[in-house]
Amino acid sequence: MADSGKWDRRSLFRGAAVLAGAAAAGPLLGGAATALAGSGDADALFKAGKFEQAGRAYEEILKKDPKNLHAARQRGYVGLLANKFPDAEKYLEMAFNLAPDDKETNHFLGDCYIRQDKFALSAPHWQAAGEESYAKWFAAVRGKAYQIHGETARVPFQQMDPMPLVEASVNGGPKKRFMFYTGAPNLNMSASVAKEAGLSPVASQKTDFEGLPIWAYWGILDSFKLGGIELRNIPVSWSATESGEDVGTDSDGLIGAWVFYHLLTTFDYAGRQLILRRRTPETAAKARADASRAGAEPLPLWLAREQYLHSTGSFAGVTGSRAGVVGVNFGGIGEITAGMSGETAEQLGIRVDYDRQIGTFAHSHPAVAYPCYPKEIRLGNAVAKEVYCYTNPNQPINVPWPYGTGFDTMGWFAHCFWKPYNITIDTTDMHLYIARGKAT
Protein backbone atom coordinates (compact mmCIF):
# COMPACT_ATOMS: atom_id res chain seq x y z
CA MET A 1 0.00 0.00 0.00
CA ALA A 2 1.58 3.18 -1.10
CA ASP A 3 2.45 5.86 1.42
CA SER A 4 0.86 8.48 -0.78
CA GLY A 5 -0.98 11.55 0.42
CA LYS A 6 -4.22 9.85 -0.50
CA TRP A 7 -3.98 6.92 1.88
CA ASP A 8 -1.51 6.38 4.65
CA ARG A 9 -1.15 2.60 4.67
CA ARG A 10 -0.96 2.63 8.46
CA SER A 11 -4.62 3.61 8.72
CA LEU A 12 -6.16 0.33 7.64
CA PHE A 13 -9.87 1.05 7.77
CA ARG A 14 -12.29 -1.80 8.01
CA GLY A 15 -13.58 -1.19 4.52
CA ALA A 16 -10.07 -1.61 3.16
CA ALA A 17 -10.31 -5.37 3.67
CA VAL A 18 -12.97 -5.72 0.99
CA LEU A 19 -10.54 -7.30 -1.44
CA ALA A 20 -9.36 -9.73 1.21
CA GLY A 21 -6.08 -11.31 0.28
CA ALA A 22 -4.72 -8.73 -2.11
CA ALA A 23 -2.35 -7.31 0.46
CA ALA A 24 -0.35 -10.49 0.95
CA ALA A 25 0.45 -10.72 -2.74
CA GLY A 26 1.64 -7.15 -2.93
CA PRO A 27 -0.13 -4.01 -4.13
CA LEU A 28 -1.28 -3.32 -7.64
CA LEU A 29 1.78 -1.29 -8.55
CA GLY A 30 4.73 -2.37 -10.64
CA GLY A 31 8.41 -1.55 -10.77
CA ALA A 32 11.76 -3.24 -11.14
CA ALA A 33 14.04 -4.01 -8.23
CA THR A 34 17.57 -2.64 -8.47
CA ALA A 35 20.36 -5.11 -7.75
CA LEU A 36 23.88 -3.89 -7.10
CA ALA A 37 26.74 -5.32 -9.07
CA GLY A 38 27.99 -8.59 -7.64
CA SER A 39 24.77 -9.41 -5.80
CA GLY A 40 22.81 -10.82 -8.74
CA ASP A 41 22.92 -14.46 -7.65
CA ALA A 42 21.90 -13.61 -4.09
CA ASP A 43 19.10 -11.38 -5.33
CA ALA A 44 17.85 -14.10 -7.67
CA LEU A 45 17.72 -16.57 -4.79
CA PHE A 46 15.91 -14.04 -2.63
CA LYS A 47 13.33 -13.19 -5.28
CA ALA A 48 12.68 -16.90 -5.81
CA GLY A 49 11.92 -17.38 -2.10
CA LYS A 50 15.13 -19.33 -1.40
CA PHE A 51 15.71 -17.23 1.67
CA GLU A 52 18.25 -19.32 3.57
CA GLN A 53 20.40 -19.76 0.47
CA ALA A 54 20.08 -16.06 -0.27
CA GLY A 55 21.17 -15.25 3.27
CA ARG A 56 24.36 -17.29 2.86
CA ALA A 57 25.02 -15.67 -0.52
CA TYR A 58 24.69 -12.17 0.99
CA GLU A 59 27.09 -13.19 3.75
CA GLU A 60 29.65 -14.22 1.14
CA ILE A 61 29.31 -10.83 -0.52
CA LEU A 62 29.86 -9.10 2.82
CA LYS A 63 33.03 -11.11 3.50
CA LYS A 64 34.51 -9.64 0.34
CA ASP A 65 32.82 -6.24 0.57
CA PRO A 66 31.84 -5.38 4.17
CA LYS A 67 30.59 -1.95 3.07
CA ASN A 68 28.02 -3.35 0.66
CA LEU A 69 24.83 -1.66 1.87
CA HIS A 70 22.52 -3.72 -0.31
CA ALA A 71 23.92 -7.05 0.89
CA ALA A 72 23.82 -6.02 4.56
CA ARG A 73 20.27 -4.74 4.32
CA GLN A 74 19.05 -7.80 2.43
CA ARG A 75 20.77 -10.18 4.85
CA GLY A 76 19.00 -8.38 7.68
CA TYR A 77 15.70 -8.64 5.83
CA VAL A 78 16.20 -12.41 5.46
CA GLY A 79 16.55 -12.66 9.25
CA LEU A 80 13.50 -10.47 9.76
CA LEU A 81 11.31 -12.63 7.48
CA ALA A 82 11.97 -15.59 9.79
CA ASN A 83 11.72 -13.57 13.05
CA LYS A 84 15.40 -14.36 13.73
CA PHE A 85 15.89 -11.10 15.56
CA PRO A 86 19.60 -11.36 16.51
CA ASP A 87 20.49 -11.96 12.85
CA ALA A 88 18.12 -9.26 11.66
CA GLU A 89 19.47 -6.67 14.10
CA LYS A 90 23.10 -7.55 13.40
CA TYR A 91 22.90 -6.97 9.67
CA LEU A 92 20.35 -4.17 9.69
CA GLU A 93 22.50 -2.27 12.20
CA MET A 94 25.44 -2.89 9.87
CA ALA A 95 23.42 -1.40 7.01
CA PHE A 96 22.29 1.50 9.21
CA ASN A 97 25.88 2.34 10.15
CA LEU A 98 26.77 2.39 6.45
CA ALA A 99 23.84 4.68 5.55
CA PRO A 100 21.93 6.12 8.55
CA ASP A 101 19.43 7.94 6.32
CA ASP A 102 18.52 4.94 4.15
CA LYS A 103 14.73 4.69 4.38
CA GLU A 104 14.52 1.00 3.55
CA THR A 105 16.99 0.04 6.28
CA ASN A 106 15.18 2.21 8.81
CA HIS A 107 11.84 0.68 7.82
CA PHE A 108 13.16 -2.85 8.42
CA LEU A 109 14.72 -1.84 11.74
CA GLY A 110 11.49 -0.20 12.87
CA ASP A 111 9.59 -3.37 12.02
CA CYS A 112 12.21 -5.54 13.73
CA TYR A 113 11.81 -3.59 16.97
CA ILE A 114 8.01 -3.49 17.02
CA ARG A 115 7.88 -7.27 16.55
CA GLN A 116 9.82 -7.48 19.81
CA ASP A 117 7.65 -4.80 21.48
CA LYS A 118 10.64 -2.46 21.63
CA PHE A 119 8.53 0.48 20.57
CA ALA A 120 10.76 3.24 21.93
CA LEU A 121 13.68 1.85 19.90
CA SER A 122 11.53 1.63 16.80
CA ALA A 123 10.26 5.23 16.85
CA PRO A 124 13.38 7.04 15.54
CA HIS A 125 13.72 4.51 12.74
CA TRP A 126 10.13 5.05 11.62
CA GLN A 127 10.82 8.78 11.70
CA ALA A 128 13.89 8.29 9.50
CA ALA A 129 11.85 6.06 7.17
CA GLY A 130 9.37 8.91 6.65
CA GLU A 131 6.63 7.26 8.72
CA GLU A 132 5.78 10.17 11.01
CA SER A 133 2.50 8.70 12.31
CA TYR A 134 4.19 5.45 13.30
CA ALA A 135 7.02 7.37 14.98
CA LYS A 136 4.63 9.45 17.12
CA TRP A 137 2.45 6.45 17.90
CA PHE A 138 5.21 4.14 19.08
CA ALA A 139 7.03 6.87 20.98
CA ALA A 140 3.84 7.24 23.04
CA VAL A 141 3.87 3.61 24.27
CA ARG A 142 4.78 3.50 27.95
CA GLY A 143 5.73 0.36 29.81
CA LYS A 144 5.37 -3.17 28.48
CA ALA A 145 3.01 -3.43 25.52
CA TYR A 146 0.81 -6.44 24.70
CA GLN A 147 0.73 -7.72 28.26
CA ILE A 148 -1.00 -11.11 28.18
CA HIS A 149 -3.37 -12.11 30.98
CA GLY A 150 -4.95 -15.55 30.92
CA GLU A 151 -3.78 -18.79 29.37
CA THR A 152 -6.31 -19.95 26.77
CA ALA A 153 -9.38 -18.66 24.99
CA ARG A 154 -11.83 -20.28 22.61
CA VAL A 155 -13.69 -17.50 20.84
CA PRO A 156 -16.64 -18.64 18.68
CA PHE A 157 -17.30 -17.11 15.29
CA GLN A 158 -20.52 -15.13 15.50
CA GLN A 159 -20.78 -15.45 11.72
CA MET A 160 -18.64 -16.91 8.96
CA ASP A 161 -19.65 -14.95 5.84
CA PRO A 162 -19.13 -12.56 4.22
CA MET A 163 -16.52 -12.13 6.93
CA PRO A 164 -15.89 -13.96 10.21
CA LEU A 165 -16.88 -11.99 13.30
CA VAL A 166 -15.91 -12.62 16.93
CA GLU A 167 -16.87 -10.87 20.15
CA ALA A 168 -14.42 -8.87 22.23
CA SER A 169 -14.55 -6.41 25.10
CA VAL A 170 -12.80 -3.03 24.89
CA ASN A 171 -11.61 -1.46 28.16
CA GLY A 172 -14.00 -3.66 30.12
CA GLY A 173 -17.07 -2.49 28.21
CA PRO A 174 -19.86 -4.58 26.65
CA LYS A 175 -18.92 -7.07 23.96
CA LYS A 176 -18.44 -5.74 20.45
CA ARG A 177 -18.31 -7.59 17.15
CA PHE A 178 -14.89 -7.53 15.50
CA MET A 179 -13.85 -8.96 12.19
CA PHE A 180 -10.30 -10.27 11.86
CA TYR A 181 -7.88 -10.15 8.98
CA THR A 182 -4.17 -10.97 9.07
CA GLY A 183 -3.56 -8.82 6.00
CA ALA A 184 -4.10 -5.88 8.36
CA PRO A 185 -1.47 -4.84 10.92
CA ASN A 186 -2.80 -3.52 14.24
CA LEU A 187 -6.05 -3.62 16.18
CA ASN A 188 -8.45 -1.11 14.64
CA MET A 189 -11.88 0.00 15.85
CA SER A 190 -14.72 2.27 14.90
CA ALA A 191 -14.83 5.88 16.01
CA SER A 192 -17.85 5.18 18.21
CA VAL A 193 -16.12 2.30 20.01
CA ALA A 194 -13.00 4.42 20.51
CA LYS A 195 -15.12 7.20 21.98
CA GLU A 196 -16.97 4.80 24.28
CA ALA A 197 -13.60 3.41 25.44
CA GLY A 198 -12.34 6.92 26.25
CA LEU A 199 -9.46 6.83 23.79
CA SER A 200 -7.44 9.94 22.98
CA PRO A 201 -5.22 10.08 19.90
CA VAL A 202 -1.47 10.48 20.14
CA ALA A 203 -1.25 11.05 16.36
CA SER A 204 -3.72 11.88 13.62
CA GLN A 205 -3.80 12.45 9.90
CA LYS A 206 -6.37 13.62 7.40
CA THR A 207 -6.45 11.36 4.39
CA ASP A 208 -8.66 9.94 1.65
CA PHE A 209 -10.28 6.54 1.68
CA GLU A 210 -11.98 5.39 -1.51
CA GLY A 211 -12.31 9.02 -2.56
CA LEU A 212 -13.75 10.24 0.74
CA PRO A 213 -11.92 12.54 3.18
CA ILE A 214 -11.55 10.96 6.62
CA TRP A 215 -9.41 11.29 9.72
CA ALA A 216 -7.14 8.49 10.93
CA TYR A 217 -6.18 8.36 14.60
CA TRP A 218 -3.67 6.35 16.62
CA GLY A 219 -3.64 5.74 20.36
CA ILE A 220 -2.97 3.26 23.15
CA LEU A 221 -5.71 0.97 24.47
CA ASP A 222 -5.71 -0.20 28.10
CA SER A 223 -7.51 -3.52 27.65
CA PHE A 224 -8.76 -5.81 24.89
CA LYS A 225 -10.36 -9.08 25.96
CA LEU A 226 -11.09 -12.08 23.75
CA GLY A 227 -12.71 -14.79 25.85
CA GLY A 228 -10.25 -15.89 28.52
CA ILE A 229 -7.33 -13.91 27.06
CA GLU A 230 -6.85 -10.23 27.86
CA LEU A 231 -4.24 -8.03 26.22
CA ARG A 232 -3.25 -4.79 27.93
CA ASN A 233 -1.43 -1.68 26.76
CA ILE A 234 -2.01 -2.16 23.04
CA PRO A 235 -1.34 0.21 20.13
CA VAL A 236 -4.68 0.80 18.41
CA SER A 237 -6.10 2.91 15.58
CA TRP A 238 -9.50 4.20 14.55
CA SER A 239 -10.94 6.37 11.81
CA ALA A 240 -13.83 8.80 11.41
CA THR A 241 -15.49 10.94 8.81
CA GLU A 242 -14.94 14.68 8.99
CA SER A 243 -18.16 14.93 10.99
CA GLY A 244 -16.93 12.30 13.45
CA GLU A 245 -19.09 9.41 12.23
CA ASP A 246 -17.95 5.82 11.81
CA VAL A 247 -16.31 4.77 8.56
CA GLY A 248 -18.34 1.68 7.71
CA THR A 249 -20.84 -0.07 9.95
CA ASP A 250 -20.35 -3.75 9.11
CA SER A 251 -18.47 -4.41 12.37
CA ASP A 252 -17.13 -2.62 15.42
CA GLY A 253 -13.50 -3.07 14.47
CA LEU A 254 -10.80 -5.25 12.97
CA ILE A 255 -8.24 -7.48 14.68
CA GLY A 256 -5.00 -7.50 12.70
CA ALA A 257 -1.92 -9.69 12.57
CA TRP A 258 -0.11 -8.00 15.45
CA VAL A 259 -2.61 -9.33 17.98
CA PHE A 260 -2.35 -12.86 16.61
CA TYR A 261 1.42 -13.02 16.40
CA HIS A 262 1.68 -12.23 20.11
CA LEU A 263 -0.16 -15.49 20.79
CA LEU A 264 -0.13 -19.09 19.64
CA THR A 265 -3.17 -18.75 17.40
CA THR A 266 -5.34 -21.41 15.78
CA PHE A 267 -7.82 -20.26 13.16
CA ASP A 268 -10.24 -23.13 13.57
CA TYR A 269 -12.45 -22.55 10.56
CA ALA A 270 -13.93 -26.04 10.67
CA GLY A 271 -14.82 -25.56 14.33
CA ARG A 272 -15.89 -21.94 13.73
CA GLN A 273 -13.69 -20.50 16.46
CA LEU A 274 -10.41 -18.83 17.30
CA ILE A 275 -8.22 -20.70 19.77
CA LEU A 276 -5.78 -18.32 21.47
CA ARG A 277 -3.04 -19.49 23.82
CA ARG A 278 -0.20 -17.87 25.67
CA ARG A 279 2.80 -19.09 23.73
CA THR A 280 5.07 -21.23 25.94
CA PRO A 281 7.37 -24.15 25.09
CA GLU A 282 4.69 -26.46 26.50
CA THR A 283 1.77 -25.04 24.50
CA ALA A 284 3.92 -24.98 21.35
CA ALA A 285 4.91 -28.62 21.87
CA LYS A 286 1.27 -29.59 22.31
CA ALA A 287 0.30 -27.73 19.14
CA ARG A 288 3.02 -29.58 17.22
CA ALA A 289 1.88 -32.92 18.64
CA ASP A 290 -1.78 -32.23 17.82
CA ALA A 291 -0.81 -31.27 14.28
CA SER A 292 1.30 -34.39 13.86
CA ARG A 293 -1.55 -36.64 15.01
CA ALA A 294 -3.81 -34.92 12.49
CA GLY A 295 -1.30 -35.55 9.72
CA ALA A 296 -0.26 -31.91 9.35
CA GLU A 297 3.34 -31.33 8.31
CA PRO A 298 5.07 -28.18 9.55
CA LEU A 299 5.13 -25.63 6.75
CA PRO A 300 7.50 -22.65 6.71
CA LEU A 301 6.13 -19.29 7.76
CA TRP A 302 7.54 -15.90 6.81
CA LEU A 303 6.38 -12.46 7.91
CA ALA A 304 7.00 -9.53 5.58
CA ARG A 305 6.26 -5.80 5.84
CA GLU A 306 4.88 -5.87 9.38
CA GLN A 307 1.89 -8.14 8.77
CA TYR A 308 1.96 -10.17 5.55
CA LEU A 309 2.18 -13.90 6.30
CA HIS A 310 3.61 -16.26 3.68
CA SER A 311 4.25 -19.95 3.29
CA THR A 312 4.87 -22.36 0.41
CA GLY A 313 2.06 -23.61 -1.79
CA SER A 314 1.25 -24.45 -5.38
CA PHE A 315 -1.11 -23.58 -8.22
CA ALA A 316 -1.94 -25.83 -11.19
CA GLY A 317 -3.61 -25.22 -14.54
CA VAL A 318 -4.03 -27.13 -17.78
CA THR A 319 -0.44 -26.52 -18.90
CA GLY A 320 1.41 -27.18 -15.67
CA SER A 321 1.86 -26.46 -11.99
CA ARG A 322 4.21 -24.38 -9.92
CA ALA A 323 5.20 -24.38 -6.26
CA GLY A 324 6.61 -21.37 -4.48
CA VAL A 325 5.98 -18.64 -1.97
CA VAL A 326 2.31 -17.73 -1.46
CA GLY A 327 0.53 -15.30 0.79
CA VAL A 328 -1.70 -16.77 3.50
CA ASN A 329 -4.50 -14.54 4.74
CA PHE A 330 -6.89 -15.48 7.52
CA GLY A 331 -10.19 -13.68 7.89
CA GLY A 332 -11.19 -10.68 5.81
CA ILE A 333 -14.06 -10.30 3.42
CA GLY A 334 -14.55 -12.23 0.22
CA GLU A 335 -15.93 -15.25 -1.53
CA ILE A 336 -12.73 -16.28 -3.31
CA THR A 337 -10.61 -19.27 -2.37
CA ALA A 338 -7.41 -17.75 -3.67
CA GLY A 339 -6.08 -14.91 -5.76
CA MET A 340 -3.20 -14.90 -8.19
CA SER A 341 -1.21 -12.62 -10.42
CA GLY A 342 -1.96 -12.49 -14.11
CA GLU A 343 1.45 -14.01 -14.85
CA THR A 344 0.66 -17.06 -12.71
CA ALA A 345 -2.67 -17.64 -14.46
CA GLU A 346 -1.19 -17.18 -17.93
CA GLN A 347 1.88 -19.36 -17.45
CA LEU A 348 -0.06 -22.24 -15.93
CA GLY A 349 -2.93 -22.13 -18.39
CA ILE A 350 -5.51 -21.43 -15.71
CA ARG A 351 -8.99 -20.85 -17.10
CA VAL A 352 -9.97 -17.18 -16.79
CA ASP A 353 -13.45 -15.79 -17.46
CA TYR A 354 -12.65 -12.49 -19.15
CA ASP A 355 -16.33 -11.86 -19.90
CA ARG A 356 -17.14 -11.21 -16.24
CA GLN A 357 -14.76 -8.57 -14.99
CA ILE A 358 -14.88 -7.53 -11.35
CA GLY A 359 -14.22 -3.90 -10.49
CA THR A 360 -12.39 -3.50 -7.20
CA PHE A 361 -10.78 -0.73 -5.19
CA ALA A 362 -7.76 -2.06 -3.36
CA HIS A 363 -4.76 -0.26 -1.85
CA SER A 364 -6.25 3.09 -2.83
CA HIS A 365 -6.18 2.15 -6.51
CA PRO A 366 -9.01 1.04 -8.82
CA ALA A 367 -8.35 -2.39 -10.27
CA VAL A 368 -10.07 -4.94 -12.45
CA ALA A 369 -9.93 -8.65 -11.61
CA TYR A 370 -11.44 -11.66 -13.35
CA PRO A 371 -12.86 -14.97 -12.12
CA CYS A 372 -10.51 -17.88 -12.68
CA TYR A 373 -10.60 -21.60 -11.97
CA PRO A 374 -7.29 -23.37 -11.34
CA LYS A 375 -7.13 -27.14 -11.65
CA GLU A 376 -5.73 -27.31 -8.14
CA ILE A 377 -4.37 -25.14 -5.37
CA ARG A 378 -2.45 -26.72 -2.52
CA LEU A 379 -0.93 -25.78 0.82
CA GLY A 380 0.74 -28.75 2.48
CA ASN A 381 -1.87 -31.52 2.56
CA ALA A 382 -4.75 -29.07 2.08
CA VAL A 383 -6.10 -29.10 -1.46
CA ALA A 384 -8.92 -27.43 -3.41
CA LYS A 385 -9.77 -28.26 -7.03
CA GLU A 386 -11.57 -26.20 -9.69
CA VAL A 387 -12.49 -23.53 -7.16
CA TYR A 388 -13.50 -19.91 -7.68
CA CYS A 389 -10.53 -17.53 -7.55
CA TYR A 390 -9.52 -14.07 -8.77
CA THR A 391 -6.73 -12.99 -11.08
CA ASN A 392 -5.58 -9.48 -11.93
CA PRO A 393 -3.71 -9.37 -15.25
CA ASN A 394 -1.94 -6.17 -14.18
CA GLN A 395 -0.67 -7.50 -10.88
CA PRO A 396 2.97 -8.57 -11.08
CA ILE A 397 4.51 -11.50 -9.24
CA ASN A 398 7.19 -9.33 -7.71
CA VAL A 399 6.76 -5.81 -6.33
CA PRO A 400 9.86 -4.27 -4.74
CA TRP A 401 10.09 -2.04 -1.69
CA PRO A 402 8.53 0.40 -0.83
CA TYR A 403 5.28 -1.01 -2.25
CA GLY A 404 5.83 -4.76 -1.93
CA THR A 405 7.92 -7.51 -0.41
CA GLY A 406 10.62 -7.74 -3.09
CA PHE A 407 10.24 -11.50 -3.57
CA ASP A 408 8.15 -13.50 -6.02
CA THR A 409 4.65 -14.34 -4.81
CA MET A 410 2.47 -16.34 -7.19
CA GLY A 411 -0.71 -15.52 -5.34
CA TRP A 412 -2.45 -15.84 -2.00
CA PHE A 413 -4.81 -18.17 -0.18
CA ALA A 414 -7.94 -16.47 1.12
CA HIS A 415 -10.92 -16.84 3.44
CA CYS A 416 -12.83 -19.59 1.64
CA PHE A 417 -9.84 -21.91 1.24
CA TRP A 418 -9.62 -22.44 4.99
CA LYS A 419 -13.21 -23.50 5.72
CA PRO A 420 -12.62 -27.29 5.95
CA TYR A 421 -9.50 -26.85 8.09
CA ASN A 422 -7.92 -25.61 11.29
CA ILE A 423 -4.66 -23.70 10.97
CA THR A 424 -2.14 -22.92 13.70
CA ILE A 425 0.54 -20.27 13.26
CA ASP A 426 3.60 -20.25 15.51
CA THR A 427 5.48 -17.01 14.93
CA THR A 428 8.29 -17.99 17.30
CA ASP A 429 9.37 -21.17 15.50
CA MET A 430 7.86 -19.73 12.29
CA HIS A 431 5.79 -22.73 11.28
CA LEU A 432 2.26 -23.13 10.00
CA TYR A 433 0.19 -26.29 10.56
CA ILE A 434 -2.96 -27.01 8.60
CA ALA A 435 -5.19 -30.01 9.31
CA ARG A 436 -8.61 -31.05 8.06
CA GLY A 437 -11.52 -30.85 10.49
CA LYS A 438 -12.06 -29.20 13.84
CA ALA A 439 -9.17 -28.53 16.20
CA THR A 440 -8.94 -30.74 19.26
Phi/psi at 269 (nearest 5 deg)?
-65, -45
- Rounded CA separation 329/338 (Å): 9
Q: pTM of this prediction? A: 0.91
% of the chain beyond a pLDDT of 70: 90
Q: How far apart are CA 61 and CA 41, in angstroms?
A: 10
Cis? peptide before 402, omega within 30° of 0: yes
What number of other Cβ atoms are within 10 A of residue 142's Cβ? 10
- Asked if the model's pLDDT at residue 153 lies above 50, the reply is yes
Please provide the average confidence, as pLDDT, over all residues in the chain. 89
Q: What pLDDT is attached to residue 27? A: 31
Is pLDDT above 70 for 187?
Answer: yes
Q: Contact 315/383 with Cβ under 8 angstroms?
A: no
Residue 170 has pLDDT above 90, yes or no: yes
39/48 Cα distance (integer angstroms): 14
DSSP code string of 325-354: EEEE--B-S-S-SEEEEHHHHHHHT-EE-T
Q: Which residues contact 416 (CB under 8 A, 6 or more apart)?
A: 334, 335, 336, 337, 387, 388
Among the listed residues 216, 271, 215, 253, the one whose alpha carbon sits nearest the alpha carbon of residue 422: 271
The CA dihedral of 429, 430, 434, 438, to the nearest 10 degrees, is 60
Residue 37 CB coordination number (10 Å): 7
Residue 7: name the closest of 255, 246, 212 by CA: 212
Residues 396-407 have a mean pLDDT of: 92
Burial (CB < 10 A; 0-12, 13-18, 19+), residue 371, is: middle
Share of the chain residues as helix, strand and coil, in percent rounded to the nearest 5 = 30, 35, 40
pLDDT beyond 60 at 234: yes
Q: Does 244 or 34 have the greater pLDDT score?
A: 244
In the chain, pLDDT over 90 holds for what percent of residues?
81
- Tell me: the pLDDT tens digits for 93-134? 999 999 999 999 999 999 999 999 999 999 999 999 999 999
Using alpha carbons only, what angle is made at residue 113 by residues 146 and 431, rounded to the nearest 5 degrees?
A: 75
Structure confidence at residue 362 (pLDDT): 61
Q: What is the pLDDT of residue 360?
A: 79
Domains and CATH numbers, the chain: 32-139 (1.25.40.10), 147-262 (2.40.70.10), 268-436 (2.40.70.10)
Q: What is the mean pLDDT of residues 63-79?
A: 98
- In degrees and rounded to multiples of 5, residue 26 shows phi and psi of 95, 155
